Structure 1
């Protein structure tokens, strides 16, 4: 049997076992179907996004912001400027060394102490961006350092300046090494965005808990939320695989 066929058969069997496991819980499928539009965010609450739609929005903005933060922090981490190095290492150390939930609460409850009051969604985006920017900064740094020094020396011999070398020579090669682990961080962010529910934002986890509590249908809503998160994660994985195919899953830096 071809490998691809075996793969799909195995997935089908495991998924069937997965569904049978949940079927044994005697769930109320009518209740799930009635609440599914709310979990997906197909409707608007007072004109605002909610449910899975809000979760995707928070993640999309956080992904963009964290990527910029990561690149800046990685370049500062590689800088010979003592102040830039100090700021970047302190930032990376703090946000990698403290729990994300604590960071979310510090942003939401701490900033008002200095006069900066944020709504739950902006606070969540800031916390997620800062946290994942720190993790991704180390990924970016490792990718940049993996490019042989000879590449920079050759570019410098051609008269390119430092910024041009980084933009035209180093980063285009490093991106092939950076994409796979960065994609994993994005998927992790999607799941960690459930922590935003503690702020009262109407995202997927908050909606599932609220509707489950209303009629004591916790398992129905939690399982539904789990499946939605899973489907969204699969979507991210598909996008990641397409990007990897476009840029290449890796690069042999010894033959560049």
Structure 2
């Protein structure tokens, strides 16, 4: 009973956050006092822009693809549901690294070949593989993979909306699109925000996989810098710190948004 009363008295003190804060403060102190840490930070900070660009662009595309797949999965037409299920299971069954390499070196040339054949009918200049940069091939791979993950999140969130809400929207004379945009989607968004935010954090971390294609993000610059200076400890400590700052900031921001939404009525 005493343990139960203690648990119900309030949330636990965030000792984990205090420990992470202490770790980050130690790394900041090392950067201020050690020239090798400072040199690593200067070089790796150039990759932050690419990491943020890849994460935001890929997640935005994955949200659009995932929402489209979720609508197909909830369709009354069985062939649309089967196509959506086929795609989701296919993408979820392929490791991210394999998909990244497949899109970059197998699918991209096929896409360029298809574009050239269509463009040839209109007299357009043919494209080469260099016209499809590795950066955007990596973004495409992340969109295809995370679109499948987000499709399940959107599908579950939309399906969890009370049926009475849609019936009330029908009674008001709203069209199917108005019902979805004004009634279903806002309520589903509050339900799917936590898993959606978690997938975005995972996207930031998985964006480091683009380093295998030579894209100059944080991970790739860390690999280059450590190979040149042989300062592996300092370089990868700084790389880990940069990713930790981004993901921890996103996690805390997501929790703040969740609390604000929970405090709103209805």
Given candidates 63, 76, 79, the residue that maps to 1:80 is 76
CA shift, 1:158, in A, is 2.2
Tell me, yes or no, if the aligned pair for 2:70 and 2:154 is still in contact at 8 Å.
yes
CA shift, 1:176, in A, is 0.3
4+ runs deviating over 3 angstroms: 2-8, 10-20, 245-251
Could you give the per-residue CA deviations for residues 82-131 of structure 1, whole angstroms, max 9, x where no partner exists?
33222211211111111111111111001244252331110111111111
Question: TM-score, normalized by length of structure 1?
Answer: 0.82
Q: Secondary structure at the match of 1:95?
A: helix
Question: Does 2:21 match 1:7?
Answer: no
Tell me which structure has the larger Cα radius of gyration.
2
Q: How does 1:81-96 map to 2 (within 5 A)?
A: 81-96=77-92
Change (3 A) 1:64 1:13: closer
Residue of structure 2 equivalent to 1:103: 99
Provide the rounded CA distance (Å) in 2 between the counterparts of 1:250 and 1:137: 27
Could you give the per-residue CA deviations for residues 150-194 of structure 1, whole angstroms, max 9, x where no partner exists?
221222122222222111111111110011110000000111111
Given candidates 164, 169, 191, the residue that maps to 1:150 is 164
Provide the rounded CA distance (Å) in 2 between the counterparts of 1:55 and 1:77: 32
Q: How many residues align?
A: 236
Given candidates 209, 214, 217, the residue that maps to 2:231 is 217
Provide the rounded CA distance (Å) in 1 between the counterparts of 2:19 and 2:249: 21
Change (3 A) 1:57 1:194: same
Provide the rounded CA distance (Å) in 2 between the counterparts of 1:218 and 1:195: 19
Question: Does 2:147 match 1:133?
Answer: yes
Provide the rounded CA distance (Å) in 2 between the counterparts of 1:187 and 1:107: 22
Question: Does 2:222 match 1:208?
Answer: yes
Which sections of structure 1, spanning at least 5 residues, go unmatched?
Answer: 23-27, 42-50
Residue of structure 2 equivalent to 1:48: none
Tell me, yes or no, if the aligned pair for 1:205 and 1:225 is still in contact at 8 Å.
yes
Provide the rounded CA distance (Å) in 1 between the counterparts of 2:20 and 2:245: 16
Change (3 A) 1:249 1:40: farther
Q: How does 1:1-256 map to 2 (within 5 A)?
A: 6-7=13-14, 11-13=17-19, 15-16=21-22, 29-41=34-46, 51-114=47-110, 116=112, 117=129, 118-248=132-262
Tell me, yes or no, if the aligned pair for 1:73 and 1:88 is still in contact at 8 Å.
yes
Change (3 A) 1:39 1:185: same
Question: TM-score, normalized by length of structure 2?
Answer: 0.80
Change (3 A) 1:112 1:166: closer
Give the RMSD, CA atoms, in angstroms.
2.8
Change (3 A) 1:149 1:112: closer
